[in-house]
Amino acid sequence: MGMLDWFKSIVGGDKSPATPEAAGADDKGAELAGLNFKTAVDAHMKWKVRLESYISGTSTEQLKVEVVCRDDQCPLGKWIYDMGGEKFGYSETFFDMKAHHALFHRSAGDVLAAAQSGDADGARKLLHSGDYVKASERVKMLLARMFVIASEGKEAIDSHIKWKGRLQTYIKGDSKEDLKVEVVSRDDQCTLGHWLNGIGGERFGQMPAFSVVRSRHAQFHRCAGEVLSIAQQGEKAKALHMLEEGAYPDASAQVAAAIVTLFEKQRVAA
């Protein structure tokens, strides 16, 4: 099982999916925006074991309620309030994960407080039911969902933004590609186009946001065809300028924005 498939299985409700390591997947494949999502999920789930050990008296940790109850002291919390917020602050999934992560730590603090007051049975009850369990599972699922959304969206956007480099190289005469206007102008010949007309259409085709992506993608390829046509007429300087200003960069940016919106709309509908 690859890393993306592992996260998808969590989103799908699998409580104990086969580990990616069993299939030889590298943990580095889980790194996005300054966070290793696999490590973050693992560390989050280990809280239960840490608290159980503390309650039973076998832990060597000096846990403090005033620290455990805060959501900005663990590695995930520090990321949430730093690069995570910068990269995913627009995302409803991130907002939900942040809120449930805060609830989780408040619940963990309650467990620890009960244990330190000598109420081991009460602490175990809190640990195995109620807000702690719900918040813990929700954080795990939302982290997985964020990874899936970011990975799929990044792959689609990356295939799209490579067009600028391809066209620049072609215009400058450094490309080995034999680009044709009648092909570049079409929106069903590139990697993103194949996705839109294949798996993407099957998965998102009924959503209005998907129609927006298709429309903007078609407009982008019309603009790309115009740039290529100008270049093939010998007006290389004008073609390079068109890549930087005007209809082409506007259309390109709109495609990227529409893809981000599509994956967020899908999250809300899920």
Residues 201 and 123 in one domain: no
What is the model's pTM? 0.61
Distances (CA, A) of 121 to 66, 115, 133, 230: 21, 8, 16, 76
Q: What is the CATH number of the domain that holds 248?
A: 1.20.120.30
Which of 113, 133, 149 lies at the terminal end of a domain, its last residue? 149
Condensed to tens digits (0 to 9), the pLDDT of residues 205-252 reads 889 999 999 999 999 999 999 999 999 999 999 999 999 999 999 999
Residues 228 and 243 in one domain: yes
User: What does the alpha-carbon distance between residue 47 and residue 143 come to, in Å, rounded to a whole number?
Assistant: 16
Residues 20 and 142 in one domain: yes
Residues 139 and 164 in one domain: no
User: What does the alpha-carbon distance between residue 7 and residue 29 come to, in Å, rounded to a whole number?
Assistant: 11
Distances (CA, A) of 91 to 84, 137, 150, 172, 177: 10, 19, 10, 39, 38
Residues 196 and 162 in one domain: yes
Tokens linked to 141: 């699922």
Residues 181 and 131 in one domain: no
pLDDT for 178: 95
pLDDT for 29: 72
pLDDT for 30: 84
**Nearest one of 151, 135, 165, 169 to 6, comparing CA atoms:** 151
Which of 127, 149, 171 lies at the terminal end of a domain, its last residue? 149
Residues 141 and 16 in one domain: yes
Question: Domain range for residue 115?
Answer: 3-149
**Nearest one of 148, 50, 52, 21 to 97, comparing CA atoms:** 148
HSE-up (13 A, CA, CB side) for residue 226: 15
Condensed to tens digits (0 to 9), the pLDDT of residues 97-121 reads 999 999 999 999 999 999 999 999 9
pLDDT for 23: 43
Residues 125 and 18 in one domain: yes
Which of 90, 119, 149 lies at the terminal end of a domain, its last residue? 149
Are the beta carbons of 196 and 214 closer than 8 angstroms? yes
Which stretches of the chain drop beneath a pLDDT of 50?
22-24
pLDDT for 20: 56
Total domains in the fold of the chain: 2
Residues 184 and 117 in one domain: no
Are the beta carbons of 250 and 191 closer than 8 angstroms? no
Residues 37 and 145 in one domain: yes
User: What does the alpha-carbon distance between residue 192 and residue 172 come to, in Å, rounded to a whole number?
Assistant: 25
Tokens linked to 229: 């046509």
pLDDT for 54: 96
Residues 242 and 141 in one domain: no
